[in-house]
A and B are shown apart, each in its own frame.
Chain A
């Protein structure tokens, strides 16, 4: 049984069909990339899956359980956690407290019971992304790259079954991108299931085993990075038609 099943998902904004009849599934331990030009509906798809938007039709199943239309916090507690394209830190709180918030949720509290102290767990999460030095700084003092990593740590603190990363490399420098690629690879090796939406194809293609290409709200191709690179339709979408 696949971990996440998306069946015929459709979302309309007035006359615009943002996501149209998208089907895909994610198996446990997989790492999948979703690519597509701007406005292809990738982020809308994420918002639909994580409950920030309600789909007009279609079904989303996590571990075989129907999660369509549930509020975002319930979906997060069921083990499907996301990060945001534009970072959403709690800027008044120190970095470590940002993670303590996640550990205060239902799922988070269950996850720390056997470790006893949420602080220690939060420390470990920060260490994983290399933010130990910044632990006591208010999040508003962190750089953009640090915030991206903080958000990842915050999501990982819930020990998700499936994590959706929305443009994890957005606005990062080359060095930071490399660091991020490495930490995502490490997460994958640890057995986490990951779905990534990304524009930086160069970094993405190194990471993922399977790619889904979206265009105008529709899924136009699915396959390994090599297959996708050779796919005529995808090339057409990205580079335009051959004359």
Chain B
């Protein structure tokens, strides 16, 4: 086969990696969504309400990192809120005891997230499937217990209050702070989902999927499965703790384990469940699906159920889960994939023509 044909095939393979097989969103769609979100603060949305979107963006980072771990590598984690907590607490502790500035503590909290992921992962990733899921579920609960036990150091139920804000009040007005926080979370979400998406579609990402599909098979290919599993876990922990530490320094200015007296909590059970529900809703293994899922969740739970139709907070999750069940039955592979497939259907006629042309060319060449 001549080299030119090979190169053409390879290029075709890569475009295919980026469209069909890995279910990439068409770039236009991503771009449009980004524009919509950029305009939101000026589209008559009350600045105070932007907090919903800010926490949705940060939760979306956690959900995307969950998707890399579970949807791409097949390592089920039911306790991803742990990383949220680790990120916030390591940053808060460094502030409390050393008064280090935010731009030092947040990067260190990322390292802490990776470190904890490696420490937990080394023994636990030997387990498979439901066993790993059960163990990971225990970690956030154990972490809360740990915080309560050493309450003198970690502040117990109250946590660590009065953390410095990334956008402090004196230079910023309250409204401007909401807007600044929102844009910060949007930029972080865009950056981390792009990075995670790049990792997932790189050659390393291909190896992750091979572990999801068949672990014994990848061992037979000479892949050091443990190394790649740890890598996936560490990347996931890195972005999870990024979301957590930024959350602590923007939303409430506090690191609190469970809901105590304000609306900001890092490691309640919900924070481990939300990434799972929204990823299944958005499309598992798509990377961008969880972003759509998280925004649907926050839009319904924090806005529609509170301000449009008042629903008692106790049954909000029940109603939301029922809606998710309904949506998942309708679109079993996730909303995001459904949208992309619709868009691809629109493009299809042209593609068939192209394939026909290529075939004709091949016949001519003999």
* Interface hit among B57-65, B128-136, B209-217, B332-340: B209-217
When the two chains form the complex, which single residue of B1, B6, B221 contacts A101, counting CB atoms closer than 8 Å? Answer: B221
* A55 on the B face (CB < 8 A): no
Known: A81-B220, A90-B214, A93-B209. A136 touches B16 (CB 8 A): yes
Give the residue of B12, B17, B206, B220 whose beta carbon is less than 8 angstroms from that of A82: B220
Tell whether A200 is near chain B: CB-to-CB under 8 Å.
no
- Residue A108 lies at the interface, judged by CB distance under 8 Å to chain B: yes
- A residues 58-96 near B (Cβ < 8 Å) are 71-73, 76-77, 81-84, 88-94, 96
Q: Are A52 and B216 in contact (CB under 8 A)?
A: yes
Residue of A nearest to B217 (CB): A88
- B222/A108 in contact, CB under 8 A: yes
The answer to whether B17 touches A90, judged by C-beta atoms less than 8 angstroms apart, is no
Q: Is B321 an interface residue (CB 8 A)?
A: no
Task: Point out which of A89, A119, A120, A132 has the most chain B C-beta atoms below 10 A from its C-beta.
Answer: A119
Q: For B16, what are the chain A residues with a Cβ–Cβ distance below 8 Å? A: 94, 136
* Residue A21 CB within 8 A of the other chain: no
Count B-side interface residues using an 8 Å CB cutoff: 30
B223 in complex: contacting residue of A101, A123, A132, CB < 8 Å: A101
> Quick one: closest B residue to A108, CB to CB?
B222
Q: Given known contacts A93-B209, A104-B207, is B219 in contact with A76 (CB within 8 Å)?
A: yes
Q: Does the CB pair B6–A76 fall under 8 Å?
A: no
Secondary structure call for the B interface: helix
Complex Cα–Cα for A25 and B220 (A): 22
Contacts of B213 in A (CB 8 A): 89-93
Closest residue to A96 on the B side, CB-wise?
Answer: B13
Q: Please give the distance in Å from A179's CB to the nearest CB on chain B.
A: 19
Contacts of A52 in B (CB 8 A): 216, 219
Also in contact, A104 and B220, with CB within 8 A (given A92-B209, A93-B21):
no
| A93-B210 in contact (CB<8A) | yes
B220 A90 Cβ-Cβ under 8 A: no
B206 in contact with A104 (CB, 8 Å)? yes
Closest CB in chain A relative to B108 CB, distance in Å: 32
Nearest residue, chain B, Cβ from A82 = B220
